[in-house]
Amino acid sequence: MDKQLERGGVGFSEREKKMVRMKVRNRAEEEEEQPEDRLSNLPDSLIHYIFSFMDTKFVAQTCVLSTRFKHLWTSVPNLNFQSCYFPRVYLFTKFVSRVLSRRDSSSNVSTLNFVRGGIVERRHMKRIINFAIHHNVQQLNITVSVDRDPSSLSLIFNSKSLVNLKLIFCHFQNLPNSLNLTALTTLHLEKVSFSISNDKSNKCFDPFSNCLNLKNLTLINCFIRGLDVFTIGSPQLAKLTLSFCCGWEDINRKFVVTAPKLSCFHLDGFPPLELSADNVPSLETVQVSVSRSSNEDKEDMVALINVLKELRNAKFVTLDLDAIKILSMVPSLLEHQPSPFTNLKSLKVRSTTSTIPDHVMSYLLNCSPSAAVVVGFQ
């Protein structure tokens, strides 16, 4: 220490040297007592990753933590907006507008999640969608209640950057006849309407034909009207989930699945449809969950048999108890039916009972006697 004090060529008295040593020692002790700010020392990429699990409201509040965090929130690549964290909806709307206007224009946005209760104004909805399109958002999740046929929604379906799209509506919304989402790989639609005007003679509908990279498709409670044939055709589609509880106006509708790479199919609920799945040679996993009605009849059984026939290439099949009960309704009908599955390796039945009628088991396993059978909820 003494050599450091004299290094500049200026002499110090012993008293001055002692005072300097005490100041240095006190400062070192203060630094040891002050806790290390490890969070501020993390790289931006890691902090942004942590922020991706937080609502943007709380991310913005981190600006008071330190100078390092003052503007860090303006460059997060994931924006999560949920109105449930605000006491008033208008405060939520105001907050979203401010965040979007104060964004760091040089930073990319990869994911935008927007969940809002109540009716969303068209002007505000349009701003959200325009922001997503202009910033080349890759993953967009929207859960809202909006006016019917908002013009802003149509902008989504021409995006060239969207890879993952999830739309959940509180009320049915009409979609365009064709979705031009060339980069899209995952699509989740809930409570949307597909329809064709009554004056069209050809009532065939294939809304996903331009989604050439679509691999995962989920349709839940979609409203389909005015159509004779609804086609799901995609050359890359590997996983398909159809869940129906409402929205079917008639029983004379054909549902065509054309997906040469489809390997997983989940049918939840049992709509009155005619399923045609001739072009699914890669199908391996099938799960059928039937929403059983109180007025089941022979027609339900015939419809289920026909659906299982179309899924004949499946190797791993899971059925729920209601499906077994429907197949058990008319034993004599199954006796004249060939087994639907020709390549079956595993059959799982979700049931509270371990007893499955013999004629049902014979029908399901006749062409695959060596298939493993599991009964229960595991």
Q: Is 228:204 a contact under the CB 8 Å cutoff?
A: yes
Phi, psi of 231 (to 5 degrees): -110, 135
User: Distance between CA 323 and CA 350 in Å, rounded?
Assistant: 10
What is the model's pLDDT at position 8?
43
Closest CA to 312 of 351, 367, 268: 367
DSSP string, 118-159: EEEPHHHHHHHHHHHHHTT-SEEEEEEEE-SS-GGGGGGGG-
Q: Look-up: residue for tokens 């060529």?
A: 9
- Is the sign of the CA dihedral 140, 142, 147, 148 positive or negative? positive
| Element housing 96 (H / E) | helix 89-101
pLDDT in single tens digits along all 378 residues of the chain:
545 444 444 454 676 556 656 766 666 555 555 566 677 788 989 999 999 999 999 999 998 888 888 899 999 999 999 999 999 988 999 999 999 999 988 888 999 999 998 778 888 888 999 999 999 999 999 998 765 555 667 788 888 999 999 998 866 666 777 788 999 999 999 988 776 655 555 567 788 988 999 999 999 988 777 677 888 888 999 999 998 755 555 445 678 888 899 999 999 876 556 677 778 889 999 999 886 655 556 778 888 888 898 898 999 999 998 888 888 888 888 888 899 998 999 999 987 776 788 899 999 999 888 899 888 765
Q: What is the pLDDT of residues 313-349, one digit of tens each?
A: 999 999 998 888 888 888 888 888 899 998 999 999 9
Distances (CA, A) of 162 to 38, 183, 218, 311, 347: 36, 6, 16, 31, 37
For residues 39 and 69, the answer to whether their CB atoms sit within 8 Å is no
Residue 10: what pLDDT? 46
Question: What span, in angstroms and rounded, lies between the C-alpha atoms of 321 and 292?
Answer: 9
Cβ count near 296 (within 10 Å): 15
User: Among 202, 193, 279, which residue's Cα sits nearest to residue 240?
Assistant: 279
Q: Which residues fall within 8 angstroms of residue 104, CB to CB, at 6 or more apart?
A: 71, 74, 75
- Cα separation of 131 and 300, whole Å? 47
At 36-81, the pLDDT tens digits run 667 778 898 999 999 999 999 999 999 888 888 889 999 999 999 9
pTM for the predicted model, two decimal places = 0.83
In the DSSP assignment, the letter for residue 68 is G
Q: Which of 295, 242, 296, 240 is nearest to 264 (CA)?
A: 240
Mean pLDDT of the chain: 82
Q: Which helix (H) or strand (E) holds 33?
A: helix 14-33
Which pLDDT score, from 0 to 100, does residue 24 have?
Answer: 60
CA distances from 218 to 148, 221, 321 (A): 22, 10, 23
pLDDT score recorded for residue 42: 86
